[in-house]
Chain A
């Protein structure tokens, strides 16, 4: 597997532009958005690192060659790309909408007291884990791509590529979500579709690479 192809595939599989409307971008507090995104990305990276670690053993146990795995992952990424391209943008996930819903006693994220900060962190942690880390980030496309990349290019590269791809989600959390129907919202949707198209090309590349491998 070509490393550049794997990296581009990982970034487009994450598709930060598609994920952005669902992220904590709805929150007005940038710090908390970043916290949630960072927790989600970090957790997903750990999960993907685990997948990368056991990838070779799983493949051996299943008696599947690396090239065949690449083809299979390419097929899954094709499906993901099709979904990303044609499906409507992800709606904001309820638990990611301000105010936090996990703690009924808290009504505002502007709480500045010690207890309030602890509550915010606690909420960020939970929200960063579910639904951000799983299922939004730890999705099959990225998970299986990490597995294939680990078999072909090693655990370190696969984990690093996944971490880099996930970091784009943290980067996108710097920006608040666009107003619906605005030019920025259209641009975000366009960028998400562009990512999906790129993922489609990457998936095709993986399939062709797997077919013509030896």
Chain B
């Protein structure tokens, strides 16, 4: 009897060590938008005259650290155009200034254009700049960059291998450098090409897009990195974009009228809803990949929500993730939610359905809201303008922390708005616990944060 009780005690202890409480602070359309607005404020305050941004700030030492990353520069431009699309003041001007910075660093060769400096340029910077300028095209209707978009698309297309993998780098003298791949450039390129097809449906961008999507869905993990599977929010963006394309024409009778063009933007994708018989261009392999990826974002959200700055979790779960890491989880899950809205196969096959995906994305956004440095928290610092609206990780913040967090907040804000609109009630995804106010906790290194 005593041995039985002891066994139970040990087992419950093991359960408690594995299953920590999950804190999902309440996220609403209002507080996520407010946090997104504060993040845009960080970019507008900390933009240099040449259009670049403060790259990294260490608030413990009160120093602005040297270094810059053009892939992340392009990512920030893209996020700010998303914010402009959501109507956040100041975002468009800041993004345009960032674009001017990028336009001064273009490399043209024949009919291709790449963004970067030095002898070797990454595919990722051009892919994200393409995605950003495509967003700008949608927001403003301004065609001034259309030729550039097509030219960068051709550059990205040139990076495809026969297997539809994306070569990560391009050399000015020798062209694409074989044998080097990036965990994120492939997804970024997928998204960029998918957006080009949404913008210019007659130009044939769907062909390479489908090839890359199929490669990512079926071969990428085996070919490039088997374990752990890549948590690829960029691929999720790409999947969502493809899902919003017009329906597969070969599934329709030949006499059927052409489908109306789908909204091209990631933001407008959420309004794309199809019936069960109206399939998106996603293949079954794409759907299966989306479900697997949603699972990765799901466990990451749950793990992150178990982190705490006190109690046993401090030791078993480690410190809070950087804003960039947490932001990508929210971005990825929200993108897959949009894909699920556009393709009923995904919505019905994913465990827990769209509601579960929305709940996890909202959880990530709630954590972002509570971990953002508010004006009052920044007031006591010497350089409040560098802290307010930012997310810190072990005392420092990097511009991609704000970038990914901003994109996630915007995406979740839209989920919440649409959900409220549809269900005519208060947000259903706020979890049980009231909002917490966690101080920002540092972690040992900033390694492997996504670009």
- Chain A interfacial positions (CB closer than 8 Å to B): 60, 62-65, 67-69, 71-73, 75-76, 79, 130-131, 134-136, 138-141, 143-144, 210-214
Contacts and interface: CB of A to CB of B under 8 A. Distances in A.
A63 B433 contact: yes
| B3, B5, B11 pick with most chain A CB within 10 angstroms | B11
Given A69-B19, A76-B15, 13 more contacts: A62-B21, A63-B22, A63-B23, A64-B20, A64-B22, A65-B302, A131-B1, A135-B5, A210-B299, A213-B295, A213-B352, A214-B356, A214-B357
Q: Which 3 A-B pairs have the closest CB atoms?
A: A135-B4, A140-B11, A214-B298
Given A63-B23, A72-B14, A214 B350 contact: yes
B240 interface: no
B7 interface: yes
Q: Chain A at the B interface: mostly helix, strand, loop or mixed?
A: helix
A214 B352 contact: yes
B19 A76 contact: no
Contacts of B12: 140
A86 to B, nearest CB: 16
Given A214-B294, A214-B295, A214-B352, A65 B22 contact: yes
A72 B1 contact: no
29 contacts: A63-B433, A64-B19, A64-B20, A68-B302, A69-B19, A71-B18, A72-B14, A72-B15, A72-B18, A75-B14, A75-B18, A76-B11, A79-B11, A130-B1, A131-B4, A135-B7, A139-B7, A140-B8, A140-B12, A144-B11, A211-B295, A212-B296, A212-B298, A213-B295, A213-B299, A213-B352, A214-B351, A214-B356, A214-B357
B45 to A, nearest CB: 37
Nearest to A212: B295
Interface in B186-242: none
A151 to B, nearest CB: 12
A50 to B, nearest CB: 14
B19 A211 contact: no
A213 B359 CA distance: 13
Give the interface SS of chain B, mostly helix, strand, loop or mixed. Answer: helix
A67 B15 contact: no
B297 interface: yes
Contacts of A136: 4
Interface of B: 1, 3-5, 7-8, 10-12, 14-15, 18-23, 292, 294-299, 302, 306, 350-352, 356-357, 360, 432-433
Contact of A68 (B10, B22, B295, B433): B22
Contacts of B357: 214
A210 B303 CA distance: 12
Given A213-B351, A214-B356, A214-B360, A71 B19 contact: yes
A211 B15 contact: no
Contact of B7 (A71, A140, A210, A213): A140
A111 B433 CA distance: 62
Max chain B CB contacts within 10 Å: which of A73, A130, A214?
Answer: A214
A190 to B, nearest CB: 25
Nearest to B5: A135
A59 B65 CA distance: 45
B299 A63 contact: no
A144 B8 CA distance: 10
A192 B298 CA distance: 36
B19 A135 contact: no
Contacts of B1: 130-131, 134-135
A130 to B, nearest CB: 6
Contacts of A76: 11, 14-15
B11 A67 contact: no
Contact of A134 (B4, B302, B360): B4
Contacts of A212: 292, 295-296, 298-299
A62 B15 CA distance: 11
B329 to A, nearest CB: 12
A135 B295 contact: no
Contacts of A62: 19, 21
A75 B3 CA distance: 20
A141 B351 CA distance: 25
